Amino acid sequence: MPDAYSATIEKYWCQRYILFSRFDDGVNMDEEGWFSVTPEVIAHYQASRCASGTVIDCFTGVGGNAIQFAQRCNHVIAIDIDPSKIGFARHNAAIYRVDDLIDFIVGDFFVLAPKLKADTVFLSPPWGGPDYAKVETYDMKTMLRPHDGYTLFNVAKEIASRVVMFLPRNVNFNQLAELSLSACPPWSLEVEKVHLNGKLKAVTAYFSRPPVGGC
Ligand code: ADP
């Protein structure tokens, strides 16, 4: 491991090819990226499930998901509030030769949201740091940042007919059901437990607007 990395990265360094299979081609990220990037095999699978039309990756980080979406979808919009994250995402996308298939935007998703339209909104929002693993049940009302899960879902469902959320493994499933039922008419919900190397890693929730009907 290069000396420039802090000791806390050591655990993640061993997983570098799980995070990015092309790591040795020059993948680069900051410390937060190491903790929060979606492992490539998971991002690849999520992209296969979202494969069509326009996808917006609303909290792009260093680009793990956006790179995989670009290999499957017609158009990808990658948003992050932190310009340096977008810099890393663009650099990493170039390594996978998909940088010209992604529109990178530096901005606050919640400010941009009213102007966005897409087929799928993908949300891998800040989980609130590593403390999520210290509680038995992750509460989307109080632990998600910068806004709760309800605000996030309500904003996202105005943009697309499919909303995909990547959430902590201990997320409260009743709250996910509450979200889908809060829409009018209720949206369908599919929850997937994501295992990596035999360990439950996270949960992906797929919400879809029903094709017909109203309230
Ligand atoms: P985690 O808790 O999963 O480590 P982070 O704090 O790393 O989450 O946040 C995930 C990404 O979301 C970061 O790249 C961060 O810059 C970005 N982000 C945070 N708030 C916003 C926002 N309002 N709009 C767009 N991107 C955001």
**Beta-strand runs (E) in the chain:** 54-57, 75-80, 102-106, 120-123, 162-168, 188-196, 199-208
| 55-101 confidence digits (pLDDT tens) | 999 999 999 999 999 999 999 999 999 999 999 999 999 999 999 99
Q: Tell me: pLDDT of 214 over 80.
A: no
The 10 Å Cβ neighbour count of residue 51 is 15
Residue 80 CB–ligand 1 contact under 6 Å: yes
Residue 36 CB–ligand 1 contact under 6 Å: yes
pLDDT tier, 8 (very low <50, low <70, confident <90, very high otherwise):
confident
- Collapse the DSSP code of 125 into the 3-class scheme (helix H, G, I; strand E, B; otherwise coil) and give the result: coil
Atom of ligand 1 nearest to the CA of 33: 7
Query: How many residues are given for the chain?
Result: 215
pTM beyond 0.85, yes or no:
yes
**Domain 20-208 part of CATH 2.60.40.420:** no
Residue 30 CB–ligand 1 contact under 6 Å: no
Atom of ligand 1 nearest to the CA of 128: 2
Instruction: Please report, for the chain, the start and end positions of each structural domain, with discontinuous segments joined by +.
Output: 20-208
Residue 119 CB–ligand 1 contact under 6 Å: no
| 16-65 confidence digits (pLDDT tens) | 999 999 999 999 999 999 989 999 999 999 999 998 899 999 999 999 99
Residue 35 CB–ligand 1 contact under 6 Å: yes
| 170-195 confidence digits (pLDDT tens) | 999 999 999 999 999 999 999 999 99
